[in-house]
Structure 1
């Protein structure tokens, strides 16, 4: 069972919410604990946005629920109708991510059947829970998505490297290969979600610094390189072994994949500034990639079984190599002083 910072912070947020509820002498502090669970977010920026958005939607939900309770009582059909109305309002306001906790507030308030003191207490409990989660998120192990992203890049590359090195040689058990490939797909999806988080933060900033914009380009290029590598794995899995091929073909594909993996590894080291000057030259890798594609499609014969499939795999490998060339150029620019790169 995995135990991480998010699990710890969730428990601490619930604890703080319950203690604050007792301190303010609320009769039933459970609502604050529920709100704290919903409100914990993966970044400080999202915590702040969620805090503001949730206050808006919870206020609207509490008011509508209070009116609904006064006019319609707390019959189940009335509660359902009010929930539908609040849900529609939240969607109209583009606050879909806050609807869960907002509906909890609505149901709690309608339980009072129009008693505004009780409704106010329920609303304040929700705010206490949101506030507790926000405070814990910024005070205890604050999220460091950029450091986590780089670490995830390294871990995903290690998994990708292993699978690409054994894909053509077919040395890994098929069941193990599929499991590892599915796990890799999930890891790349998690990376893409984290990149979207960075992009969201930068778009919301009124004036993003040039260094932040450049860093975002780096993150995107790193992600795209891994995605292209996974595309090679997928192409091999779908097409390579269904094609008629010789030992020389296997050797050609296997050898070039090994070169690209090595190239990918060197470029990642270049990002970390661990290579000696001139330790990774771009031009030889470019020539190798072009030569591979020419060799792979040379003598293409549509009459042979699965030749088109081999072309699909060769194209995926070439695109992976081309993406690594782009990554290498970005690494070169990153190693220059910012003033030299800015136009």
Structure 2
């Protein structure tokens, strides 16, 4: 298990909230710590988005909780009913789950007592919760800013490498069926993680116009990298599903299929290496002739293999479609990468950290 930046920030925010609450002398510093733990966000943009929402939820929870404690008391059934009301109100305003949890905590904190000093008691609880929210906001703003760009590209590179390795194995009929099924399931989970990381990176804000334009191009390029890698996974899935049918086609065509897929795999790898600035931007013509795939011709040949048997010919059309889609995504990625490198020649995605498993 890895100790991540968000864990460290949560612990730091809790400690700061406790110190401030104890220094001021407010009661129940524990509530400040709980609020700080719930208020931590993964990036600055979400901190700005949620801080006002969290303050509103705190105000709503304390206000309704105080009114209910005055008028109805603090019987467990009353507290449960008020909790339902709070959830409905927060859901109506489309607040996040963490914010709803803060509002519920505010209600529970206030409805502990029905003493005559309820307003003072509620004010103390409100202050403690506000300190927790603000402590988390300050920690989000100042400490351990996440580098989602580096993390995202590193994970794209790792996932793509894993898929390509399995493609090379499966096309040569060397794969273990249960192991490949498990890897495909794991890789689909990795793509969900990639999409989440991409969303967090896209939420970061850049205020200089020149940097903003570069970042927009980078976002488009990274989105296409994910799309291309996802298509490579779909190709792997197709080869896994049609493995037994591929073994029935003529041996010479099986070799052509392997050779052409190797070329398209190499083209994919070449684009990622080019994005990292590790190979020439303009390879020699002889290298291009050797490595550039001819997928449209391969698909035509694949269809002609069963020219006399319409039923068998249709059976491999899904595989042909996957190959065409994979080739199309790679061509689009090449166009975007060439455009990006034309405008930002020295801004590569290089990183030098050791590879690791990306899923928690």
TM-score by length of 2: 0.84
1:177 aligns with 2:183: no
CA contact (8 A) 1:51 1:134 kept: yes
Contact 1:21 1:125 in 2 (8 A): yes
User: Cα offset for 1:267?
Assistant: 0.8
Name the structure 1 match of 2:267: 263
Cα deviation code 1:21-74 (max 9, x no counterpart): 222223322112222221221111112222221111221222112112222211
Please give the secondary structure, in 1, of the residue aligned with 2:342: coil
1:251 aligns with 2:255: yes
C-alpha deviation, 1:191, in angstroms: 0.9
- The answer to whether the Cα contact below 8 Å between 1:244 and 1:305 also exists between their aligned partners in 2 is no
Question: 1:319–1:103: structure 2 CA closer, same or farther, 3 Å change rule?
Answer: same
SS of aligned partner of 1:112 = coil
Residue in 2 that maps onto 1:295: 301
Counterpart position of 2:278: 274
For 2:277 and 2:38, the matched residues in 1 are separated by 41
The aligned counterpart of 2:65 is 65
3-state SS in 1 of match to 2:3: coil
Answer with 6-15 or 221-230: which moved more: 6-15
Q: Please give the alpha-carbon distance, in whole angstroms, between the structure 2 residues aligned to 1:291 and 1:334.
A: 30
Alignment match, 1:44: 44
Structure 1 pair 286–83 and aligned structure 2 pair: CA distance change class (3 A): farther
2:90–2:100 CA contact under 8 A, matched in 1: yes
How many residues align structurally? 339
Structure 1 counterpart of 2:111: 110
| Structure-2 separation of matches of 1:280 and 1:35 | 60
CA contact (8 A) 2:260 2:293 kept: no
Q: Would you say the 8 A contact 1:243–1:306 is kept in 2? A: no
After superposition, the CA RMSD in angstroms is 3.0
Greater relative CO (CA pairs within 8 A, separation 6+): 2
Deviations 1:142-201 (A, max 9, x none): 112112111111121221221222222232323322232222111111111122234445
Stretches of structure 2 that go unaligned for 5 or more consecutive residues are 346-360
- Residue segments in structure 1 that go unaligned for 5+ positions in a row: none
Indicate if the aligned counterparts of 1:83 and 1:106 stay in contact, CA closer than 8 A: yes
> What is residue 145 of structure 2 aligned with on the other side?
142
Alpha-carbon distance in 1 for matches of 2:308, 2:209: 56
Shift of 1:110: 2.0
Contact preservation (8 Å) 2:267, 2:292: no
- 1:13 and 1:241 map into 2 onto residues whose CA distance is 57
- Bigger CA drift: 208-217 or 115-124? 208-217
Contact 1:38–1:101 (CA<8 Å) still a contact in 2?
yes
Q: Give the alignment of 1:1-343 within 5 angstroms.
A: 1-97=1-97, 98-113=99-114, 115-201=118-204, 209-241=212-244, 245-246=248-249, 247-279=251-283, 288-300=294-306, 307-337=313-343
CA distance in 2, matches of 1:127, 1:250: 67
Asked whether the 8 Å contact 1:69–1:112 carries over to 2, the reply is: yes
For the residues of structure 2 that align with 1:208 and 1:113, how far apart are their CA atoms?
Answer: 56
C-alpha contact 2:27 2:128 (8 A) present in aligned 1: no
- Secondary structure at the aligned position of 2:146 is classed as coil
Preserved contact between residue 65 and residue 110 of structure 2 (Cα < 8 Å): yes
Indicate conservation of the 8 Å contact 1:21/1:32, yes or no. yes
Question: Taking structure 1 as reference, are residues 178 and 58 closer, same or farther at Cα in structure 2, changes over 3 Å only?
Answer: same
In structure 2, C-alpha distance between the alignment counterparts of 1:104 and 1:240, rounded to whole Å = 56
Distance 1:106 1:239, change over 3 A: farther
- Say whether the 8 Å CA contact 2:246–2:254 is kept in structure 1: no
My pick for the range that moved more, 74-83 or 112-121, is 112-121
